[in-house]
Amino acid sequence: MEVVALSVVAGIPTVEVELSVEPTRRVVTCRRACVGLLRRFVPLVVKKSVSETLGMGGGYAPPTNSPLVLLLSVGLGVGLVLLGMGCAAKTPPAPLETAACAEGLPQDQWPGAGVADEALSLVLRSRAQPVRVEYRATIEDPALVSARRVRIAFFRDDGSALRMRLLDPMGMAIADYVRADGRWELTIPSLSVAEAGAVGDAVPRLMGRELPLSPDRLSALFAPAAVGDTVAWQAGACAVLEERATSGEVVRTLAFDRVDGAWVVARETLFEDGEARMVADHFEHRLVGSGLLWSHRSEIQDARRGSQLELVTTGIRTDGVTDALFVLRGDDASPTSRASE
């Protein structure tokens, strides 16, 4: 908005183009941001009007009849309204009202017979089964010019080991994330990146940029691990689990739904500093192998960054997952070699 405003004020002709993907913008809702924008824009408008009135010219080109002047005037009015509103408060996403809960089920018929700890154990046990999944994925991120279509190979053993490989449509590796033995490793060949760390450490910023849909956060959506220290049912919601840290802050919520008589996680939300950071909606759960209900379509959003990831399952196996898939490169203290696949 500010760049367009400066162009119009300077008299530079502007054109309108249609984008194939709607850009992700930060919504100006804070008083300080509004004051800063108005402080820079209003003096320029006044100076241009006075200069043109005195015949001194108002910019680098003749005035145009662009409708952007009217639009910017409306935007100025909106800015003045927002100026008096202050900053928007952080609010978590609305609880998911599932079809099963719409029936008004009593709590003793919720997952784990209504016992919160047992319901979480059901989720962790289902995610502890060895599985190998192939995804067709679509990634949208503010840093990308348009949506990018890739393939994702996902592997998980019956412990805490996990691996995600990002492939281009031709099968070439774009990125590889391995987590095992309390450590993780990230490899991005095109950027000559080879990072490692301990489980619990966030993936560092690479080349000064944060990765879209960071793999350490994605792994929390699929790995068999508890995120918080305590668990309880969310007050006022139906079959929604809350995991809380020792400080009492909510770090994850799990909203359940029933599919063919079995309870599955329909929405999972990860929180940071009281704000919803990663939201995953799971659809089309299907029975795989011996009792494994798997989401064949998932939509994941990074609410703060604006990234979106859609996963569509193209193949899934519950066998053939071996330790060789989770071998780490190692370091001086633990020299090992990566197994070839």
Answering whether pTM is above 0.85, one says no
Distance in angstroms (rounded) separating the CA atoms of residues 105 and 266: 17
Architecture of the domain delimited by 101-326: Clam (2.50)
**What is the pLDDT at residue 74?**
61
The closest of 275, 325, 339, 283 to 131, measured between CA atoms, is 325
pLDDT beneath 70: ranges in the chain: 1-2, 18-34, 52-104, 145-146, 204-213, 330-341
**What is the pLDDT at residue 117?**
93
* Three-state secondary structure call for residue 325: helix
- List, as one string, the DSSP characters of 25-92: ------HHHHHHHHHHHHHHHHHHHHHHHTTS--SSS-----THHHHHHHHHHHHHHHHTT-PPPP-P
**What is the pLDDT at residue 268?**
92
CB atoms within 10 A of CB 124: 12
The closest of 274, 213, 201, 214 to 244, measured between CA atoms, is 274
Which residues contact residue 280 at a Cβ distance below 8 angstroms, ignoring those fewer than 6 apart? Answer: 221, 267, 268, 269, 298, 299, 300, 301
Percentage helix, strand, coil, to 5, in the chain? 25, 35, 40
Length of the chain (residues): 341
Domain(s) labelled CATH 2.50.20.10 in the chain stretch across 101-326
